[in-house]
Amino acid sequence: MIKEHYEIVRKAIGTDIQLCVVSKKRSIEEIRSYYDAGERIFGENHAQELLEKAGQLPEDIAWHFIGHLQRNKVRSILPFVSCIQSLDSYALADEIEKEAAKLNKTIPVLLEFHMAEMDEHKTGHDPSDALPFAKYCIEKKHLDVGGIMVMGPHTSDTKAIEDVFHKTYDLFKELQNIYTAEKIHTLSMGMSSDYKTAIACGTTMVRIGTYLFEED
């Protein structure tokens, strides 16, 4: 654990913004150091890795799935995840609904949108279909849609990042207006390179890996 970086992040986010410690590729010992510091939300992007880690770490960890999720992996991770942040298609919504119903469980999810227009590595649902997609997911009995997840554009141009984050915030507010702020409570936005910009743009949850685990 990089104590100095951790203190900087904790100070920057205050008490209102949640921290998802992105623990992909990190060892059990590294994760445990953040657990011991009081962190409970950890983000993983591979099903197999999440399952292996969940079996070796305390049960009160809230594992958040943040990567592209293949439909054939849904069943295996559902018993272990507290939230799927990367719900990005109708087909995936159908699959999570089907498997969650079998477990008689309601799964918290965030809708991931692809807001950075010029970015090649496209993850997330098309934002021009945001409202129909949100409605479709919210009507699923075993999905609890709590908000939005987004990746900032791959650039050092702060202005371009702000544009994407402002657009995402507007969409978040639009969903809150339709479905209430009580239901749509989470805007997961901001990583190591852009979390400060995300804070300025109204994020409610940052997902940080590299900065918490690596020296400058």
Ligand X SMILES: *Cc1c(COP(=O)(O)O)cnc(C)c1O
Single out the segment in contact with ligand X by CB under 6 A; choices: 8-16, 47-55, 57-65, 208-216: 208-216
Give the number of other CB atoms < 10 A from CB of residue 215.
7
Neighbour-count burial of 166, counting CB atoms closer than 10 A to its CB (0-12 exposed, 13-18 middle, 19+ buried): middle
Please choose, from the candidates 173, 175, 107, the residue with its C-alpha nearest in 3D space to the C-alpha of residue 144: 107
Question: Considering beta carbons, is residue 22 or 74 the nearer one to ligand X?
Answer: 22
Residue nearest to ligand X (CB): 209
Interface with ligand X by CB under 6 A: which range of 9-17, 29-37, 72-80, 201-209?
201-209
Min dist. Cβ of residue 177 to ligand X (A): 26
Q: Which position among 64, 67, 152, 164 is part of the footprint of ligand X (CB under 6 A)? A: 67
Shortest distance (Å) from residue 139 CB to ligand X:
26
The least distance separating ligand X from the CB of residue 192, rounded to whole angstroms, comes to 3
Least distance from C-beta 122 to ligand X, angstroms? 13
Q: Which of 171, 191, 201, 205 binds ligand X (CB under 6 A)?
A: 191
Given the complex with ligand X, which of 142 and 197 has the nearer CB atom? 197
Q: Which stretch binds ligand X (CB under 6 A): 133-141, 154-162, 170-178, 187-195?
A: 187-195
What's the gap between Cα 37 and its chain centre? 21
Terminal Cα-to-Cα distance of the chain (whole angstroms): 13
> How far is the CA of 95 from the CAs of 19, 147, 165, 212, in angstroms?
28, 19, 29, 33
Token look-up 């986010």 returns 13
The residue written with tokens 């900087």 in the block is: 8
In the set 66, 90, 159, 205, which binds ligand X (CB under 6 A)? 66
> Residues 17 to 36: which contact ligand X by CB under 6 A?
22, 24
* Using rule CB under 6 A, residue 138 touches ligand X: no
Which is closer to ligand X, CB of 142 or CB of 207? 207
Q: State the residues that interact with ligand X by CB under 6 A.
A: 22, 24, 45, 66-67, 151, 191-193, 207-211
